[in-house]
């Protein structure tokens, strides 16, 4: 595996470098019944950023209130902290490289494409051609902050991606569109035998071997603007071969492999139950266990999925049956290049 992608995301209201004041109103404004900041935090989490830092130097109190409510519903392993400092004053809280986000704008593209520049050093900027000031998404090396002496971030950026090729929504121009824009198709991937080689109850990092085209297939889904979900039967828990903690650790390792190549799963569901299990707590039937559609249905309840344009892909009859039971198009993977198969069926949604 190549160098791991950063896991820290830093959100700055108004993205002030020096002198500018934060726009608390825009950052916490109601958008579709939720604070706008919710959308940024949600995207940070689905792109795999685990350490979220809000820099609120002027008015930290509203952000502390927001954070205290939000922490209870964050995904496993994710932290959210607020610090009353500016970017250049926060060196001690910053990791060696991190994602930097404007707190009152939303940029709709695969943020993890910036991860492909890990190792380039300095600052890698993704911004719309017409964006003003520091508006954009940045991958920043901590050592580059010494170059900020009142200059805008773009003056020290080493390269740019997505210049003019991404959608920017900002306060006063388009944020109301954000809830509708988040409605998009999804691809539901099986795991063992579809994403990774099925070695029989894989649960240790050293057992992870990806099938041909797996990373490219997931990234294709990410780049096309679909949600990418993983749905997997894990009866090894019920049989006592490993624990749920082992499942989480294996999935975290899988996500690290993907993120290093600019890809990710937005969310994951697994079923640890089996009626023939030897662990009493898990020895039962479950409508989450494929061929039942419970895992797919749960994801579609939690995310604004356009089911009519979505599909599922797996190597077993149970994968196909679960997809059809959920009303989705089903693709059968038969061991060739996963990306080649998917490319014949994926059409980018209208964004």
Same domain, 120 and 240: no
Show the domain range for 32: 8-180
> What stretches of 167-243 show up as alpha helix (H) in DSSP?
178-181, 214-224
Q: Is the peptide bond before 291 cis (omega within 30 degrees of 0)?
A: yes
Same domain, 210 and 319: yes
Q: Write out the DSSP string of 32-43.
A: TTEEHHHHHHHH
pTM, entire model = 0.92
Q: Which of 180, 195, 219 is the last residue of a domain?
A: 180
Q: Which of 150, 180, 210 is the last residue of a domain?
A: 180
CB 12 within 8 A of CB 20: no
The full length of the chain comes to 351
Residue 348 lies in a domain: no
Residue 98 lies in a domain: yes
- Annotated catalytic residue, options 104, 192, 266, 339: 192
Q: What tokens were used for 154?
A: 């773009």
Give the per-residue pLDDT at 296. Answer: 98
Active site residue 245: no
**125 CB burial (10 A radius; 0-12, 13-18, 19+):** buried
Residue in 57, 144, 76, 56 with CA at minimum distance from that of residue 67: 56
Give the per-residue pLDDT at 208. Answer: 98
Same domain, 53 and 169: yes
Same domain, 23 and 166: yes
Same domain, 157 and 236: no
Between CA 194 and CA 13 the distance in angstroms is: 41
Pairing of strands 8-12, 51-55: parallel
Between CA 263 and CA 116 the distance in angstroms is: 10
Same domain, 250 and 285: yes
- Annotated catalytic residue, options 190, 315, 319, 339: 190
Between CA 244 and CA 13 the distance in angstroms is: 38
Q: Is 87 helix (H, G, I), strand (E, B) or coil?
A: helix
**Neighbouring C-beta atoms of residue 65, cutoff 10 Å:** 12
pLDDT tens per residue, range 264-314: 999 999 999 999 999 999 999 999 999 999 999 999 999 999 999 999 999
Between CA 296 and CA 233 the distance in angstroms is: 12
Q: Which of 153, 180, 207 is the last residue of a domain?
A: 180
Low-confidence ranges of the chain (pLDDT < 70): 1-2, 14-25, 117-121, 127-135, 147-166, 170-173, 350-351
Active site residue 192: yes
Give the per-residue pLDDT at 4. Answer: 83
CA separation (Å) from 234 to 148, 199, 251?
A: 49, 13, 12
Same domain, 260 and 316: yes
Give the per-residue pLDDT at 18. Answer: 41
Same domain, 173 and 201: no
CA separation (Å) from 245 to 226, 272, 274, 277?
A: 28, 11, 17, 17
Domain count, the chain: 2
Cα-Cα-Cα-Cα torsion 134, 68, 110, 195, nearest 10 degrees, comes to 160
Give the CATH number of the domain where residue 309 resides.
Answer: 3.40.50.1000
Give the per-residue pLDDT at 318. Answer: 98
Q: 98 forms bridges with which residues in the sheet?
A: 140
Give the per-residue pLDDT at 19. Answer: 39
79 contacts: CB under 8 Å, gap ≥ 6: 50, 51, 52, 71
Same domain, 173 and 260: no
Give the per-residue pLDDT at 56. Answer: 85
* DSSP summary character for residue 229: E
Same domain, 94 and 216: no
């Amino acid at each position: 595996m190549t160098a791991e992608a950063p896991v820290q995301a830093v959100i700055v209201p108004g993205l002030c470098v020096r002198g500018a004041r934060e726009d608390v109103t825009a950052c916490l404004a109601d958008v579709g019944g939720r604070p706008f900041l919710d959308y940024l935090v949600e995207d940070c989490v689905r792109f795999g950023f685990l350490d979220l830092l809000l820099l609120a130097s002027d008015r930290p109190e509203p952000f502390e209130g927001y954070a205290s409510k939000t922490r209870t519903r964050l995904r496993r392993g994710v932290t959210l902290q607020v610090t009353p400092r500016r970017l250049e004053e926060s060196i001690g809280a910053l990791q060696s490289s991190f994602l930097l986000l404007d707190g009152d704008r939303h940029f709709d593209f695969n943020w993890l494409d910036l991860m492909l520049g890990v190792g380039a050093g300095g600052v890698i900027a993704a911004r719309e051609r017409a964006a003003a000031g520091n508006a954009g998404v940045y991958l920043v090396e901590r050592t580059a902050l010494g170059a900020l002496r009142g200059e805008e971030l773009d003056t020290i950026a080493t390269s740019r991606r997505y210049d003019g090729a991404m959608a920017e929504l900002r306060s006063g121009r388009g944020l109301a569109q954000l809830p509708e824009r988040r409605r998009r198709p999804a691809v539901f991937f099986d795991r063992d035998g579809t994403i990774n080689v099925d070695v029989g109850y894989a649960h240790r990092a050293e057992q992870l071997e990806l099938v041909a085209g797996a990373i490219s297939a997931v990234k294709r889904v990410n780049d096309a603007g679909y949600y990418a979900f993983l749905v997997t039967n894990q009866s090894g828990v019920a049989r006592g071969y490993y624990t749920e903690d082992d499942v989480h650790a294996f999935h975290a390792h899988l996500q690290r492999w993907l993120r290093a190549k600019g890809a990710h799963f937005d969310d994951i569901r697994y079923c640890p139950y089996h009626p023939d299990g030897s662990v009493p707590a898990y020895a039962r039937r479950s409508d989450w266990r494929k061929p039942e559609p419970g895992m797919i249905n749960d994801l579609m309840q939690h995310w604004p999925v356009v089911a009519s344009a979505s599909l599922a892909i797996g190597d077993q009859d149970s994968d196909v049956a679960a997809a059809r039971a959920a009303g989705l198009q089903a693709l059968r993977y038969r061991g060739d290049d996963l990306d080649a198969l998917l490319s014949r069926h994926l059409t980018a949604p209208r964004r």
